[in-house]
């Protein structure tokens, strides 16, 4: 073990330089103009897996972005771990709020700043580097490892889903290991045991057949922005409950044990308010902040488009307005069913004076895992050893839609070894990753492979 760890220490600078190279590739999955970068990024990941000593390194083309696969299967009789991650990143806008070029990584105050630093390049690179350290020092791994790094996580993992269903044999494993979530708090080793699901919708409201002068027509013809705002405001009541009929029908209530677990974490509302500059918190009445953030469903408007938005004033009654709305889901809510309920209710709220279209953009199922599993125990031990503290178990508010498919299709437990921090600004300007977490993450991964092989 010492030799492996010394290897990571001696190669610290090399590891960081390689991570920077990874971060320089603008692999934004949602923008067609970045298709070439996506391809380059998949090739970069494949080459790093090869350099690490993995075998059968392959790029699988899909209808969307390529999937990178690699394996090392030379430990017969030992368990097999499938390590999942994603090389695609979110768009960078609003670019003017970045302090450095998002694709020219900068190290400052012990953090590396770049798009994808935490979500997810920094976190998946940890595992590639832990395997490298093992193979370069020992010449072998203590168990069998498969890597599956995709390029469409940020857009719903549709093609990975298809790939998974067709390649169950190739991906067969005893456990799936993922670092694409957050630690409960800085320095506190964390295993996440739940993810919320997602239903992502778009509402388009059309009023008159063209933009009109708001003086000549205002008051007589419905304004789609006004009507859209009224609809959105009716989706939640004053107690923070979502008003869509049957929305809560399949929600499993939090058990007494769940609530005790949440309570044990001693979450500070005051610190949350301070960190994000808000004077008061809000949410569903009857639930604590931590419960609201990961144990209960939510509805949020992510974007709203319409009318005149440039400098100064222009009087106009616009023809169209639209909004993007996401609902985070908890077990046993089904994203397809929620999308239907949402569509029906939103349509029922629209007055005859406007036309309304509702689109289901994408979704994912929620999941809560059992903690009673050898892989989870091994991971909890491993992060505790690497961070030098007792491990805590939390549910995550975000979503990784493919996770439920791993557990269903591969019938394997999924370990969420979160190495990011909630303050890392993922999906936001100035995303970063703590270099200490990168280093301790590599140790965590090494300890996990060792512990789980026993
Ligand atoms: N790494 C995140 C998941 C996550 C979010 C972990 C928040 C920890 C905190 C992942 O890359 C992500 O952003 N997922 C999307 C899924 C969606 C695009 C289908 C999400 O949660 O919005
Ligand atoms: Zn993300």
Same domain for 189 and 206, yes or no, is no
> What residues contact 177, with CB distance under 8 A and at least 6 apart?
81, 82, 83, 84, 127, 375, 379, 415, 417, 445, 448
**Nearest ligand by distance to the CA of 194:** 1
Q: Which two tokens stand for residue 423?
A: 């303050």
If we measure between CA atoms, which residue out of 221, 234, 213, 218 comes closest to residue 355? 221
Closest ligand 1 atom, CA of 156?
Answer: 19
User: Is 292 part of a structural domain of the chain?
Assistant: no
| pLDDT score, position 307 | 97
Distance 143 CA to ligand 1 centre (A): 29
Same domain for 189 and 231, yes or no, is no
Task: Give pTM, 2 decimals.
Answer: 0.94
Distance 89 CA to ligand 2 centre (A): 7
Model confidence band, residue 157 (pLDDT cutoffs 50, 70, 90): very high
User: Is 274 part of a structural domain of the chain?
Assistant: no
Rounded Cα gap, residues 104 and 94, in angstroms: 16
User: Is 142 part of a structural domain of the chain?
Assistant: yes
Model confidence band, residue 258 (pLDDT cutoffs 50, 70, 90): very high
Same domain for 89 and 206, yes or no, is no
Model confidence band, residue 106 (pLDDT cutoffs 50, 70, 90): very high
CATH number of the domain within which 351 lies: 3.30.70.360
Same domain for 350 and 383, yes or no, is no
| pLDDT score, position 215 | 97
Same domain for 203 and 188, yes or no, is no
| Catalytic annotation, pick one of 18, 71, 88, 132 | 88
Same domain for 185 and 206, yes or no, is no
Is the distance from CB of 47 to CB of 111 less than 8 angstroms?
A: no
Same domain for 370 and 359, yes or no, is no
Distance 400 CA to ligand 1 centre (A): 6
Q: Which two tokens stand for residue 116?
A: 């994808």
Q: Is any ligand 1 atom within 6 A of the Cβ of residue 150?
A: no
User: Is 256 part of a structural domain of the chain?
Assistant: no
Indicate the burial class of 253 (C-beta count within 10 angstroms; 0-12, 13-18, 19 or more): exposed
**Nearest ligand by distance to the CA of 152:** 1
**Nearest ligand by distance to the CA of 90:** 2
CATH number of the domain within which 64 lies: 3.40.630.10
Distance 404 CA to ligand 1 centre (A): 14
Report which protein residue has its CA nearest ligand 1's atom 7.
398
User: Is 269 part of a structural domain of the chain?
Assistant: no
Closest ligand 1 atom, CA of 86?
Answer: 11
Distance 86 CA to ligand 1 centre (A): 11
Query: What domain count does the chain have?
Result: 2
* Active-site annotation holds for 153: yes
Domain extent for 447:
2-195+366-453
> pLDDT tens digit string along 32-84?
999 999 999 999 999 999 999 999 999 999 999 999 999 999 999 999 999 99
Model confidence band, residue 328 (pLDDT cutoffs 50, 70, 90): very high
Same domain for 359 and 247, yes or no, is yes
Rounded Cα gap, residues 55 and 135, in angstroms: 11
How far is residue 250 CA from its own chain's centroid? 23
Closest ligand 1 atom, CA of 182?
Answer: 8
| pLDDT score, position 126 | 98
| pLDDT score, position 378 | 98
Which residue among 364, 387, 406 closes a domain?
364
Phi, psi for 418 (deg, rounded to 5): -70, 130
Q: Is any ligand 1 atom within 6 A of the Cβ of residue 401?
A: yes
Report which protein residue has its CA nearest ligand 1's atom 9.
398
Which residue among 364, 388, 410 closes a domain?
364
* Active-site annotation holds for 88: yes
Report which protein residue has its CA nearest ligand 1's atom 8.
181
In the sheet with 355-364, reading across from the earlier edge strand, the strands are 298-306, 320-329, 197-206, 355-364
Rounded Cα gap, residues 447 and 392, in angstroms: 17
> pLDDT tens digit string along 384-406?
999 999 999 999 999 999 999 99
Closest ligand 1 atom, CA of 118?
Answer: 1
| Catalytic annotation, pick one of 150, 153, 174, 450 | 153
User: Is 285 part of a structural domain of the chain?
Assistant: no
Which DSSP category does 81 fall into? E
User: Is 55 part of a structural domain of the chain?
Assistant: yes
Query: Which H or E run includes 406?
Result: helix 402-409
């Amino acid at each position: 073990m010492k030799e492996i760890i010394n290897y990571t220490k001696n190669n610290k600078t090399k590891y960081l330089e390689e991570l920077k190279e990874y971060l320089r590739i603008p692999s934004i999955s949602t923008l067609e103009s970045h298709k070439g970068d996506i391809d380059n990024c998949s090739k970069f990941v494949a080459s790093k897996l090869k350099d690490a000593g993995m075998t059968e390194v392959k790029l699988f083309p899909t209808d969307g972005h390529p999937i990178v696969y690699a394996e090392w299967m030379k430990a017969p009789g030992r368990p097999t771990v499938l390590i999942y991650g994603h090389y695609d990143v979110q768009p960078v806008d609003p670019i003017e709020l970045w302090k450095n070029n998002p694709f020219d990584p900068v190290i400052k105050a012990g953090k590396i700043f770049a798009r994808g630093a935490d979500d997810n390049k920094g976190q998946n690179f940890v595992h590639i580097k832990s395997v490298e350290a093992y193979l370069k020092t020992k010449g072998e791994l203590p168990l069998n490892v498969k890597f599956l790094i995709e390029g469409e996580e940020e857009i719903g993992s549709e093609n990975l889903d298809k790939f998974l269903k067709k390649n169950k044999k190739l991906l067969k494993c005893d456990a799936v290991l993922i670092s694409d979530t957050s630690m409960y708090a800085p320095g506190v080793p964390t295993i996440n045991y739940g993810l919320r699901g997602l239903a992502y919708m778009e509402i388009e409201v059309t009023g008159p057949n063209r933009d009109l002068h708001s003086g000549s027509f205002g008051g007589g013809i419905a304004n789609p922005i006004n009507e859209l705002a009224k609809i959105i405001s009716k989706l939640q009541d004053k107690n923070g409950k979502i008003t869509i009929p049957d929305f809560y029908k399949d929600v499993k209530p939090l058990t007494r044990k769940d609530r005790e677990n949440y309570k044990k974490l001693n979450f500070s509302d005051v610190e949350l308010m301070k960190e994000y500059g808000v004077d008061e918190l809000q949410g569903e009445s009857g639930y604590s902040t931590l419960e609201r953030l990961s144990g209960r469903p939510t509805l949020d408007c992510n974007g709203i488009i319409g009318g005149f938005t440039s400098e100064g004033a222009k009087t106009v009654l616009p023809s169209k307005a639209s909004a993007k709305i996401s609902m985070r889901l908890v077990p046993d809510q089904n994203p397809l069913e929620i999308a239907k309920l949402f569509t029906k209710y939103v349509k029922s709220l629209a007055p005859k004076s406007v036309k309304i279209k509702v689109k289901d953009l994408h979704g994912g199922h929620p999941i809560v895992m059992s903690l009673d599993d050898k892989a989870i125990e091994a991971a909890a031990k491993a992060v505790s050893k690497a961070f030098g503290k007792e491990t805590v178990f939390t549910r995550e508010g975000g979503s990784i839609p493919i996770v439920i498919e791993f557990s269903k299709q591969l019938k394997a437990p999924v370990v969420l070894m979160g190495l990011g921090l909630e303050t890392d600004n993922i999906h936001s300007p100035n995303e970063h990753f703590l270099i200490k977490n990168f280093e301790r993450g590599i140790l965590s991964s090494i300890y996990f492979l060792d512990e789980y092989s026993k």
